[in-house]
Structure 1
Amino acid sequence: MREGEADPGLYDFRPYRDRTPIRWPDGKSIAVWVSPNLEYYEIDPPANPHRKSWTKPHPDVVGYAHRDYANRVGHWRMAEVMSKHGFPGSVSLSVALCQHIPEIVADANARGWEFFSHGIYNTRYSYGMDEAQERAIIEDSIRTVREATGQTIRGWLAPALTHTPRTLDLIAEYGLTYTCDLYHDDQPGPVHVKSGKLISMPYSLEVNDHYGFFIYNMSPRDYADALIRQYDRLAAEGETSGTVMCIPLHAYLIGQPHRIGAFEEVLRHIAADGRAWITRSGDIADHFLANGYDSAAADAARFAENGR
């Protein structure tokens, strides 16, 4: 390795084709979880010197109102389709939503959805935070979600995907068991932290509806086709060793009237296929911690001993 290019050591290298197989419950080859991002965006948030919240000068009424469509309309349309086809949500939650629009959180909780933290607001970033500030966000997330839903969060997706070098160590210290912030694998794996056990939960930018519609300029039909192709390939590979497919969603995008029909076809396809363990992220984490974590750690040690 070249000088100045040190590996940060977040996780070990384990070749995809040389791992102890993962086995999901009931012989399923793929664990599928849907992650609705239930978010709250401030119309005129405090400025962060490292990143602007909106591309336009504040207040960005258009950006704010477009995203608020999720909480007024899109969530309900998306949630009803998910429930119809038997897909629980694993919610990436802007925790402030518990106070701003508690009806959304109550509806998701009544559907049996799981909650994990996506920070307080999606317009406030971790860049530049000191340790006390970051601890306050984690503690606020745990307390607020517990008070609103009775659930204790077990997972983390950093607000607007922003981090500090201490983020992973801190969430593990507070007892969280998985992070969605590492996009490096199609299976769970151990993450190196100072205390506790933390695993990486496969989350996707490639089939995230934000990337599909904003970055790749996909039509609803193209996006649905990409999800089906993602599922079919991972389900086939999972026959050898269980894989994970995450479908990250934003209701202001997928909940639009002209998109929801194509997305419903995806859910129908996966539900009818028979190879999927349709579940929640916390259930995947629990199963892997109990049945796959030690084997994954042993694989890493074996590969390191044999040399790269």
Structure 2
Amino acid sequence: MREGAPDPGLYDYIPYKNRRKIVWPEGKTCAVWVAPNLEYYEIDPPQNPHRKPWSRPHPDVVGYSYRDHSNRVSHWRMADVMSRHGFPGSVSLSVALCQHHPEVVRDGVERGWEFFSHGIYNTRYSYGMDEAQERAIIEDSIETVEQATGQRIRGWLAPALTHTPRTLDLIAEYGLDYTCDLYHDDQVQEVKVSKGQLASIPYSLEVNDHYGFNVYGMAGREYADALIRQFERLAAEGEQSGTVMCIPLHAYLIGQPHRIGPFEEALRHIAADPRCWKARAGEIVDSWRAQQ
């Protein structure tokens, strides 16, 4: 039998059954965090030999303007629904948005949202970067977000989910303490890095609105129902050991007029459940870390 590729050794294998019990504040069983992706896409980005930023020839007016709906209209529609039901945002931020549309970033600050880096632009990828380039992006993220929000970023979601083999080690070296780039678990887990400590907080592709609408072809009510079913299962399993549910959002998708109503119904349902801990990403990591 031919041997497969070696285990990359990013984290230990810990079977879900019979894990150490995690207890969330006030006896809640499922920590729910909402991750709005506040992004900036370039209409004519530089080419990356490993991946095309747009499927159409550049400049892609359609792709750009469709996503620009987030920063002109639908951010406020989405954010108001979140605020109405008591969900703070933990923002996956295209750091360039701090310069391009500071009003959007300022609105998140005023709502008490947490910010972490999603790279500089969502049309510039980590593929092919050397170490100096990757360090420059991390340093730019730390400095720019701190100037714009007063917060030092703690987390990382790679731009367009693109990485190098050194990404996790580098963000930990710079003092960031959580990553959203591993999708392997429904609880916070330790990541093995060369320096410092790094936790993997559950993000989600399955209930990410991009996957729901653009990959799975869900209608708004189908997506809202998926959120409720995701929560109900995780909250029940969290009786044994606290679970985490992430709701990753893109305002130009979830904030469309025909989708926002069903989404609000789902948030209302989850918020009313006494098993739900409405938390920021950093609060979840801190609570988990204190129990290790």
TM class by shorter chain equals over 0.9
Assess, with a 3 A threshold, how the Cα gap between structure 1 residues 57 and 169 changes in structure 2: closer, same or farther.
Answer: same
Aligned twin of 2:282? 282
Distance 2:2 2:46 in 1: 40
Amino acid at match of 1:190: E
Point out where structure 2 has 5 or more consecutive residues left out of the alignment. Answer: none
Residue of structure 2 in register with 1:238 after alignment: 238
Identity of aligned residues (%): 77
> 1:35: Cα distance to partner?
0.2
1:297 is aligned to none
Instruction: List aligned pairs for 1:77-156, cutoff 5 A.
Output: 77-156=77-156
Give SS of 2:112's match.
Answer: coil
- CA shift, 1:3, in A, is 3.5
Count of residues in Structure 1 that have an aligned counterpart in Structure 2 = 292
Task: Determine the C-alpha separation between the residues in 2 that align with 1:29 and 1:140.
Answer: 37
Give the match's secondary structure for 1:185.
coil
Q: Find the aligned partners of 2:242 and 2:59 in 1 and give their Cα distance.
A: 46
Deviation at 1:286, TM superposition (A): 1.0
For residue 182 of structure 1, what is the aligned residue in structure 2?
182
Aligned counterparts of 1:241 and 1:271: Cα–Cα separation in 2: 20
Query: Take 1:145 and 1:211, find their aligned partners in 2: how far apart are those partners?
Result: 27
C-alpha distance after superposition, 1:216-272 (max 9, x if no partner): 000000000000000000000001100000000000000000000000001100111
Residue by residue, what CA displacement relative to the aligned partner does 1:141-190 show, whole Å, maximum 9, x if unpaired?
A: 00000000000000000000000000000000000000000000000010
- Amino acid corresponding to residue 93 of structure 1 in structure 2: L
Residue in 1 aligned with 2:173? 173
Counterpart Cα distance in 2 of 1:4 and 1:260: 45
Distance in 2, Cα, partners of 1:265 & 1:31: 19
Counterpart Cα distance in 1 of 2:7 and 2:59: 40
TM-score by length of 2: 0.99
For residue 220 of structure 2, what is the aligned residue in structure 1? 220
The aligned amino acid for 1:145 is V
Structure 1 unaligned residues grouped into runs of 5+: 293-308
Q: Take 1:206 and 1:3, find their aligned partners in 2: how far apart are those partners? A: 31
- Supply the distance in 2 between the matched residues of 1:79 and 1:5 (Cα, whole angstroms): 43
User: Cα distance 1:255–1:142, how it changes in 2: closer, same or farther (>3 A)?
Assistant: same
Aligned residue for 1:132, secondary structure, equals: helix
Quick check: 168-177 or 1-10, which moved more? 1-10
Aligned mates of 2:75, 2:86 — CA distance in 1: 16
CA distance in 1, matches of 2:4, 2:96: 40
Alignment partner, residue 8 of structure 2: 8
**Per the alignment, in what secondary structure is the counterpart of residue 171 of structure 2?**
helix
RMSD (CA atoms):
0.9
- Deviation above 2 Å: which 4+ runs of structure 1? 1-4
Quote the Cα distance in structure 1 between the aligned partners of 2:126 and 2:260.
Answer: 33
| 1:206 aligned counterpart, secondary structure | coil
Distance 1:255 1:226 in 2: 17
Superposition deviation, residue 288 in structure 1: 1.1
CA distance in 2, matches of 1:221, 1:266: 9
Give distance in 2, aligned partners of 1:283 and 1:212: 27
Aligned equivalents of 1:96 and 1:285: distance in 2?
Answer: 26
The reply on whether 1:44 has 2:44 as its aligned counterpart is yes
1:7 is paired with a residue of what secondary structure? coil
The SS at the match of 2:145 is helix
